[in-house]
């Protein structure tokens, strides 16, 4: 069974640009969550989508946005990039049902903002 | 506010030297507590989910336990390939987000 895939794996951008990251969940999973990982803050929750609807949102500015498509694939967008946005962006998928189910992570996209 | 604190931040063990990692948490209604392992440059790899106090789960040299305030990850006779960062996360009844601790970086030397 294929795992969570993320593209691209590495990205270099300059301040003020925008970026779009993509995530394909495990087949059958309908929930996709996004996390930002930095050395100082660790893993922080950005948002979660289920059946194309955002169900949860973390404490990040509006420059961070996302969406989910009917095939459960998800994208996240960061506009007006800042140096502090340099991080590993991780996507996780799960079935998304009411009972706690496991979130499986992809390999991440390493974003560097210059 | 939900909080997760892991200790120690870093741990160095000799091969075969057993030890425990700690995860203390406060959450308004625990839906589940998760343990992940993360290797450098990779995404977290799922290890265990614990749902209620008193629950225990085992996998090879790892055993996770849960009380109402903390969880322990016991590593028995570790090998160098167990070297990684171990992450603890809680999920509250109020949502689906995982709230992570900062992790414990484990190094096992031959």
Q: Determine the residue among B36, B89, B97 to mutate to test chain A binding: the one whose Cβ has the most chain A Cβ atoms within 10 Å.
A: B97
Q: Write out pLDDT tens, residues B19-51.
A: 999 999 999 899 999 999 999 999 999 999 999
Is A99 a residue whose pLDDT tops 70? no
Q: How many Cβ contacts (< 8 angstroms) between chains A and B?
A: 57
Percent of chain B whose predicted confidence (pLDDT) is above 90: 90
Q: Is B93's Cβ below 8 Å from some Cβ in A?
A: no
Contacts of A90 in chain B (CB under 8 A): 43-44
Do residues A58 and A42 lie in contact, with contact meaning Cβ atoms separated by under 8 Å? no
Show residues of chain A in contact with B95, CB under 8 Å: 48, 55-56
Measured distance CA(B96)–CA(B89) in Å, rounded: 12
Q: Which contiguous run of DSSP H or E holds residue A66?
A: strand A64-68
Structure tokens at A40: 């100082």
Per-residue pLDDT, A3 = 95
């Amino acid at each position: 069974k294929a795992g969570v895939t993320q593209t691209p794996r590495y990205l270099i951008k300059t301040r003020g640009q925008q970026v779009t990251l993509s995530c394909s969940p495990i087949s059958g999973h309908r929930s996709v969550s996004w996390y930002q990982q930095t050395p100082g803050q660790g893993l922080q929750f950005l948002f979660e989508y289920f059946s194309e609807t955002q169900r949860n949102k973390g404490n990040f500015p509006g420059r961070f946005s996302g969406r989910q498509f009917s095939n459960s694939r998800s994208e996240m967008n960061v506009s007006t990039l800042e140096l502090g946005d340099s991080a590993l962006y991780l996507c996780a998928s799960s079935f998304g049902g009411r009972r706690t189910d496991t979130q499986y992570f992809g390999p991440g996209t390493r974003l560097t903002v210059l | 506010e939900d909080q997760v604190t892991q200790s120690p931040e870093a741990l160095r063990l000799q091969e075969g030297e057993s030890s425990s990692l700690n995860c203390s948490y406060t959450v308004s209604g625990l839906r589940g507590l998760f343990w992940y392992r993360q290797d450098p440059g990779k995404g977290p790899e799922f290890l265990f989910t614990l749902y209620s106090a008193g629950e225990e789960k085992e996998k090879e040299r790892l055993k996770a336990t849960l009380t109402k305030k903390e969880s322990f990850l016991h590593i028995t006779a570790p090998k160098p390939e167990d070297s990684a960062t171990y992450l603890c996360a809680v999920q509250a009844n109020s949502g689906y987000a995982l709230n992570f601790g900062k992790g414990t970086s484990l190094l096992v030397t031959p």
